[in-house]
Amino acid sequence: MIWVIIALIIFVLILIVTNIRVVPQSYAYVIERLGGYSSTWNVGLHVKIPFIDKIAKKVGLKERVLDFPPQPVITKDNVTMMIDTVVYFQITDPKLYTYGVEKPINALENLSATTLRNIIGELELDQTLTSRDVINTKMRAFLMKLQTLGESR
């Protein structure tokens, strides 16, 4: 009988210790309780409820760089040129990143490529080659506008 009590105490201690989590700097953990969103854990020590809580996603909050393959773009004067795109981004809402879009990196690639095509489609070839700062500013303004629309939901 005493062995059963000792085994039960050891089992409970192991269960508690294995469910203590430390969220490191520049990460956030999205927690689901019984299959639905419960909370977002930020930096620090947290305890999850065994068998009920689940870490759905560990989200890195550092700035990331994506280099997309060159894309054909048509300028205002009907010249086709290949544009190489590099996007710097940072996740600011782990919940929205986890549940908002099925494949957020693909969505970011498609959105940035479409926006770049629209911006360059309004410029002539000479303007496109000499006004990288203007293109970057327009891209940043458009993507920031989309970010604020997403945050207001």
pTM over 0.85: no
3-state secondary structure the chain: CHHHHHHHHHHHHHHHHHCEEEECCCEEEEEEECCEEEEEECCEEEECCCCCEEEEEEEECCCEEEEEEEEEEECCCCCEEEEEEEEEECCCCHHHHHHCCCCHHHHHHHHHHHHHHHHHHCCCHHHHHHCHHHHHHHHHHHHHHHHHHHHCC
Flag whether pLDDT at 94 surpasses 70.
Answer: yes
pLDDT at residue 107, rounded to an integer: 86
Question: Which pLDDT belongs to residue 141?
Answer: 85
Q: Mean pLDDT across the stretch 2-31? A: 93
Q: What is the pLDDT of residue 111?
A: 86
In the prediction, which pLDDT does 147 show?
A: 67
The pLDDT, as a whole number, for residue 68 is 85
pLDDT surpasses 90 at 142: no
What's the mean pLDDT in 94-122?
88
Contact between residue 68 and residue 62 where contact means Cβ atoms under 8 Å apart: no
pLDDT at 146 over 80: no
Tens digits of per-residue pLDDT, 55-73?
999 999 999 998 888 889 8
Higher pLDDT, 31 or 133: 31
pLDDT tens-place string over residues 69-86 = 888 988 888 888 888 888
